[in-house]
Amino acid sequence: MQKFKNLAYLVVFSVMLFSCGEYQKVLNKGSVEDQYKMAVKMYETKKYAKALRLFEKITPAYRGKPQMERVQYMVAQSNFNEKNYSLAGYYFDRFTKNYPKSSKNEEASFLSAYSYKLASPVFSKDPTDTNKALEAFQSFINTYPNSDKIDEANQHYKDLRYKLQKKYFEIAKTYYTTADYDFRNYKAAIQAFDNLLSDYLGSEFKEEALYYRLKCAHDFVLKSTDRRKESRIKDAIEAYEKLERNFPESQFMVESNEMLATLKKEEKRIEGIVAQIKELQKENTKEK
């Protein structure tokens, strides 16, 4: 029995050795046609890394030829299967642009978007691939509204949109939480929350963003000098009104009402100071 096992191992090893030798020979010294055939063979046997090495060599020779459509698709699919997702997204996108009438165009369009989504990092990191995925899914949805992939594409789009919203929300919150160390971050936080709310009108973070927008404006008022408070109080009260208008039953209304009371009290105090200054100015004018 052991002899049969040893023989089987020897046969398998010999086949592998021959295959590797044949591959290397074609890769290094084979004709373009032989390399093309070997690349297809590697692709079909799921040896995608080896297929990609051969596709890279033959691409210049097949550029502009009928076989190039198949080559480009296999290059994209090989990168996808090797988990080179950013590259796969790029090559699938190129395929759709180079071969708009291809029967595989719809599939390639979806896979381009999906590849970029898989390449998309956690929300806290560079959103380049996330933005590419969003654009690609939007293009797919617009181009293929009746596709059997449309529900999946819409869900992917929603997931990516949420990821970006979370990123920008956390950036805005970070500006706010660091404003005690850098006063300029109050303005940065307010602008960041405003951008989030205007860019994502139906944002899942809208209620919380409106609350933090008010909190930023409120704290900014308290940290400001009296001569700068008048306009900032007005902005903070408008932030309160926007939160109340959109979420009258908000979980943040108790604290928000307390902030409004503080703002109103400060507004009244500043109005008193302004009135005194105006009165002094009138008296000075009379004396002159």
- Which 3-state string (H, E, C) describes 61-109? HHCCCCHHHHHHHHHHHHHHHCCCHHHHHHHHHHHHHHCCCCCCHHHHH
pLDDT > 70: percent of the chain:
90
DSSP letter for 182, please. -
pLDDT of 17 reads 42
Asked whether 255 and 218 are in contact (CB, 8 A), the reply is no
What is the Cα–Cα distance from 214 to 242, expressed in whole angstroms?
9
Which position has the higher pLDDT, 31 or 230? 230
For the segment 41-65, the average pLDDT, to the nearest whole number, is 93
Q: How far is CA 40 from the centre of its chain?
A: 34
**H or E segment and range at residue 201:** none
pLDDT of 1 reads 57
Q: How many Cα atoms are found within 13 Å in the side-chain-facing hemisphere of 206?
A: 15
List pLDDT tens digits, range 58-93: 999 988 898 999 999 999 999 999 999 999 999 999
Asked whether 166 and 192 are in contact (CB, 8 A), the reply is no
What is the Cα–Cα distance from 273 to 222, expressed in whole angstroms?
16
What is the Cα–Cα distance from 253 to 240, expressed in whole angstroms?
9
For the segment 32-45, the average pLDDT, to the nearest whole number, is 92
pLDDT > 90: percent of the chain:
73
What is the Cα–Cα distance from 278 to 288, expressed in whole angstroms?
15
Determine the 3-state secondary structure of 247 from DSSP.
Answer: coil
| Helix %, strand %, coil % of the chain (to 5) | 80, 0, 20
Closest among 219, 216, 223 to 194, alpha carbons compared? 216
List pLDDT tens digits, range 270-286: 888 878 877 777 766 66
Domains and CATH numbers, the chain: 184-287 (1.25.40.10)
pLDDT of 2 reads 55
Question: Does the pLDDT value for residue 288 go beyond 60?
Answer: no
pLDDT of 15 reads 42
Which position has the higher pLDDT, 23 or 287? 23
Asked whether 221 and 259 are in contact (CB, 8 A), the reply is no
List pLDDT tens digits, range 167-176: 999 999 999 9
Q: Is 182 left (phi over 0), alpha (psi -120 to 50) or beta?
A: beta
Asked whether 242 and 253 are in contact (CB, 8 A), the reply is no
What is the Cα–Cα distance from 124 to 163, expressed in whole angstroms?
9
